[in-house]
Structure 1
Amino acid sequence: MKSAEEIMEILDAYDLTGSFRDAGELAGCSHHTVKHYVDRRAAGGELDQTAARLQLIDEYLPKVEEWVERSFGKVRADVAHEKLVALGYKGSERTTRRAVAKVKASYRSGRVRVHRPWVTEPGMWLQYDYGDGPVVDGVKTVLFVAWLAWSRFRVVLPLRDKTMPSVFAALDVTFRRLGGVPTYVLTDNEKTVTVEHIAGIPVRNQQLVTFAEHYSVVVHTCVPADPASKGGTEASVKISKADLVPKDTNLREEYASFAELEAACEAFCEKVNTRAHRTTKRPPIEMLAEERARLHPVPARAHTVAFGTTRMVPANTPMVMFESGQYSVPHTLLGATVWVRTHGVGEDEWVVIVHVGDDGPIEVARHRRATPGTPKIDDGHFPPQPSGPLDRQPRAKNAAESEFLDLGEGARLWLVEAAAAGTPRMRVKMTEALALAKLFDPVEVDWALGHAAVHGRFAEADLSSILDHHARQPGTGEHRASEDSSLTQGTAAWARLGQRSTADGDGEVTR
């Protein structure tokens, strides 16, 4: 086969001489060769095309086209070959594969989806999607990936799940990181967004509607099972998973805690948002500074759904139930409504309780995960408890009891000990004590009551007997140590130890 330069020389020689033989002598080839290339030039290259030959599969092509149409271009060549053999086809499987591929290409030629370049506007569109996150402490996580269309700014947050409180909390964090709220939000048809489709029209979740009204944003969903309608986040999810999920390709180790995963997501966002994007040739964080002027302000308070599931605090017990566990809240919230959600996984999992009051949302409690039958209690959430059955203190209920208890601590002690001993006619004895307090010094009566309580003397005349004995004692009736006297026992009795005892005239025995 001649090269391109040789062919050009042959044609040039023919144009110069006008003779096949002369041109062949000048070009150093046969005059038949000269004629071939001259005729090919005159025919516009059509002579190079080989003639189509009949093949064994030609008579079966209508059937192959039928199978491709019925399967919407998804029928496999090996399956088609088996069906053709059953119909009497004698050709090879290789010929079948070529025929099926040719029919499929013809089928798709008129059905190719043509993508028009999307020219975005600043502050208009935010897309978000989810990706399978890494396993932390045996629990699978979710990666929430948001993508601001114009600036290409990305926000990646780890979530425990895709429940409504988790998703709305992630959106609130995203808006605050962006510094504003876009006009539209585009996402998939999750149950948190779309309840159902009627005649192809998505029916929005009612809680999503209130969320969108709170942030002044319009939520749209893509066509079901059509990832191409939100390709920005699809690519962002793919890149995020490739970098954050431990694989052999990124050599990333397993995460020891949920907090470590959160730190990795923040580091990833900082990396991708500070380097130049391949489309805009500018770092997304610089473009975000320009786009913020087109974003709407973020409400000062987050939507309550972002705080979790609502729970009503009972009127007499500051405990709330959440996922089969009990958790304490401050007793000042009795009868109030709180929001409960979880944050983190494994050892880093917390149950967060938020109350929205006049001053806005405030986190009022944070507990570790409770198990059924083992509530999580913070002693600071409860007021000082009244005295229990082991430490009950007397409290006056009427004037007589108040007057008796006013005598002092001795009277209180007498009341407690006498009641414990089951003393009969206690009220009569309390009245007698008050009468004695008018005849004697009330301090002496209180001392006598305390003395009687210590020694268990609760009979009728015990109190007056103690007062009488106390009054007959010299001084105050108390023995005190001094320079002339001691409180130690004397040794005079030991002097007679060992002496014989003798009986006197009266029959008494002396030692």
Structure 2
Amino acid sequence: MKSAEEIMEILEAFDLTGSYRDAGELAGVSHHTVARYVAARDAGRLSERPAARPQLIDEFLPKVEEWVDKSNGKIRADIAHGKLVALGFTGSERTTRRAVAAVKKAYRQGRARVHRPWVTEPGLWLQYDFGDGPVIDGGRTVLFCAWLAWSRFRVVLAIRDKTMPSVFAALDQVFRVLGGVPTYVLTDNEKTVTVEHIAGMAVRNPQMVAFARHYGVSVLTCEPADPASKGGTEATVKVAKADLVPKETNLLPGYASFAELEAACQAFTDLVNHRVHRVTRRVPAEMLAEERARLHALPAAPHTVAFGLTRQVPANSPMVTFEAGQYSVPHHLLGERVWVRTYGAGPGEQVVIVHAGESGPVEVARHARATPGSPSIDDAHFPPAPAGALERRPRPKSAAEIEFLALGDGARLWLSEAAAAGTTKMRVKMAEAVALAKLFDPGEVDWALGHAAVHARFAEADLPSILNHAGTSDGEVHRAGEDRSLTQGTAGWAALGQQPPASPGVEEVA
């Protein structure tokens, strides 16, 4: 096989001499080679590829094509070579590998899906999908990702599950964020949308049909297991999971509560919608302002049929009753109407409470199943207790009480402790403390009252005694020493067990 430069030299030599032999001598090749390339040039078949030659595998190629088609283009070349040898093929495995590779390439080219750019119109298409969210308090969460096709406006919401009420609430919130309803909503074949397929036709869920009728939107589904048909929302899910789910790639800390995840989703939505999109070279939030004029009007009341049973929150207690159990709701919902339903079954069954406000349906509480007489209460649903609700504080009403409590914190502590101890003649002792404050420094009297309260000294003369001790004390600390100790010494014990000496003038009796 000659190179391109060698072929050009042969043709130039022939054009110069006009003779095959002379051109062959100049180019250093046979005159037959010169004639072959000249004839190929004249026929327009001059090519760098070598001429096709018959190979041993040619008669087995139909079998190789059959195996590649049967395996959907996945058969291995060594497996095909073993089968060919069994059929009488005598060529090398290298020849088989080349043949299998060529057949696979032709198989893929014949079945390749050609993507045409999707040019949508404003106000037509909204896509949504789900992504696995982070684990919070041992429970999984879901990222609901919606994508408005024309403006590339994205909305990411955190939801607890993929049940129908949660999906309906998320879609209503998305519509209210967008400021209108598009003509079509495209999603995957979840059970909330498609019940089953019959002859390739998707059978819609009746509740989803009622939801779509309420908002005047057509809900469509893509081909099963075909993410390319909704690539926009697939990309949204990918980016949202990369930025919101704690991983080693982003070094995000875990979320302490579901509210933190909701705030992070809101921050992510604001970020991606206020920066220039790489395809449109425009800010999605600005494009949404133009597309909003093409969206349909949003119903004032959300679709609440799937949210459960309605309950009215009392005006003075944020508790609702559902199936003989009581459950708390946020205190700002006093007097409001909520929807209550169950989720799950068995020991993990939960009671979900939803409120439909100006921003659409929002899940406000989720409790474990409560038993009669044992309500399920979340402390965060109640406001902070008012001052003095759990601990009574002194509130003076008379002039004498005002004058006594004006001494300071020690006086307040003495009053609280003395009252708790059941002290008698408290008013007399309070008047005595006020009188002492006029003779001594009021700060010292307040200090003495505080010490009396700490040591529970509420007798008649306890306060003057504490004041006298504080006044006479010079601050020196007296410690016992060997020269001032009253403890007896041990010298008297030294003669223990010894015989006493005899008295003078007394004879020992034999």
Partner residue in 2 for 1:438: none
Cα distance, 1:97 vs structure 2? 3.8
Change (3 A) 1:285 1:15: same
Find the aligned partners of 1:149 and 1:321 in 2 and give their Cα distance.
42
Residue 369 (str. 1) matches residue 367 (str. 2)? yes
Change (3 A) 1:370 1:41: same
Q: Deviations 1:266-310 (Å, cap 9, x if unpaired)?
A: 23322322232232222222211110000012222221147x333
Q: Deviations 1:229-271 (Å, cap 9, x if unpaired)?
A: 2222223223333333333444444434333332332233223
Partner residue in 2 for 1:192: 192
Cα distance, 1:222 vs structure 2? 1.5
Find the aligned partners of 2:360 and 2:34 in 1 and give their Cα distance.
92
Partner residue in 2 for 1:130: 130
Find the aligned partners of 2:361 and 2:218 in 1 and give their Cα distance.
28
Find the aligned partners of 2:81 and 2:29 in 1 and give their Cα distance.
48
Matches within 5 A, 1:110-121: 110-121=110-121
* Aligned 8 A contact 2:127 2:233 in 1: yes
Partner residue in 1 for 2:224: 224
Q: Deviations 1:295-333 (Å, cap 9, x if unpaired)?
A: 012222221147x3336789xxx75348x9741579xx9
* Aligned 8 A contact 1:311 1:321 in 2: no
Letter in structure 2 aligned against 1:51: A
* Aligned 8 A contact 1:168 1:305 in 2: no
Cα distance, 1:13 vs structure 2? 4.7
Percent of pairs identical after alignment?
A: 69
More deviation, 159-168/87-96: 87-96
More deviation, 152-161/78-87: 78-87
* Aligned 8 A contact 2:73 2:107 in 1: yes
Partner residue in 1 for 2:208: 208
Find the aligned partners of 2:186 and 2:361 in 1 and give their Cα distance.
30
Partner residue in 2 for 1:161: 161
Find the aligned partners of 1:90 and 1:29 in 2 and give their Cα distance.
38
Change (3 A) 1:255 1:361: closer
Partner residue in 2 for 1:104: 104
Letter in structure 2 aligned against 1:54: Q
* Aligned 8 A contact 1:129 1:237 in 2: yes
Letter in structure 1 aligned against 2:267: A
Q: How many residue pairs were aligned?
A: 366
* Aligned 8 A contact 1:128 1:233 in 2: yes
Partner residue in 1 for 2:309: 310
Cα distance, 1:215 vs structure 2? 1.2
Partner residue in 1 for 2:321: 320
Find the aligned partners of 2:281 and 2:305 in 1 and give their Cα distance.
39
Q: Secondary structure at the match of 1:235?
A: helix
Cα distance, 1:210 vs structure 2? 1.7
Partner residue in 2 for 1:69: 69
* Aligned 8 A contact 2:9 2:27 in 1: no
Q: Secondary structure at the match of 1:169?
A: helix
Change (3 A) 1:2 1:85: closer
Q: C-alpha root-mean-square deviation of aligned residues, in Å?
A: 4.3
Partner residue in 1 for 2:244: 244
Cα distance, 1:194 vs structure 2? 1.4
Q: Secondary structure at the match of 1:181?
A: coil
Change (3 A) 1:141 1:75: farther
Find the aligned partners of 1:267 and 1:134 in 2 and give their Cα distance.
16
Matches within 5 A, 1:265-276: 265-276=265-276
Residue 51 (str. 1) matches residue 49 (str. 2)? no
Partner residue in 2 for 1:440: none
Cα distance, 1:166 vs structure 2? 1.0
Structure 2, unmatched stretches of 5+, are 314-318, 344-349, 383-510
Cα distance, 1:156 vs structure 2? 1.4
Q: Secondary structure at the match of 1:369?
A: strand
Partner residue in 1 for 2:447: none
Find the aligned partners of 1:261 and 1:173 in 2 and give their Cα distance.
16
Find the aligned partners of 2:378 and 2:245 in 1 and give their Cα distance.
37
Cα distance, 1:123 vs structure 2? 0.2
Q: Deviations 1:152-190 (Å, cap 9, x if unpaired)?
A: 111111222110111111111111111111011111111
Change (3 A) 1:35 1:254: farther
Partner residue in 2 for 1:415: none
Which of structures 1 and 2 has the bigger CA Rg? 1
Letter in structure 2 aligned against 1:50: A
Find the aligned partners of 2:192 and 2:12 in 1 and give their Cα distance.
75
* Aligned 8 A contact 1:129 1:234 in 2: yes
Find the aligned partners of 2:271 and 2:252 in 1 and give their Cα distance.
16
* Aligned 8 A contact 1:320 1:329 in 2: no
Find the aligned partners of 1:329 and 1:271 in 2 and give their Cα distance.
32
* Aligned 8 A contact 1:164 1:305 in 2: no
Structure 1, unmatched stretches of 5+, are 344-349, 382-511
* Aligned 8 A contact 2:155 2:269 in 1: yes
Find the aligned partners of 1:86 and 1:270 in 2 and give their Cα distance.
65
Letter in structure 1 aligned against 2:122: P
Find the aligned partners of 1:355 and 1:257 in 2 and give their Cα distance.
20
Q: Secondary structure at the match of 1:224?
A: coil
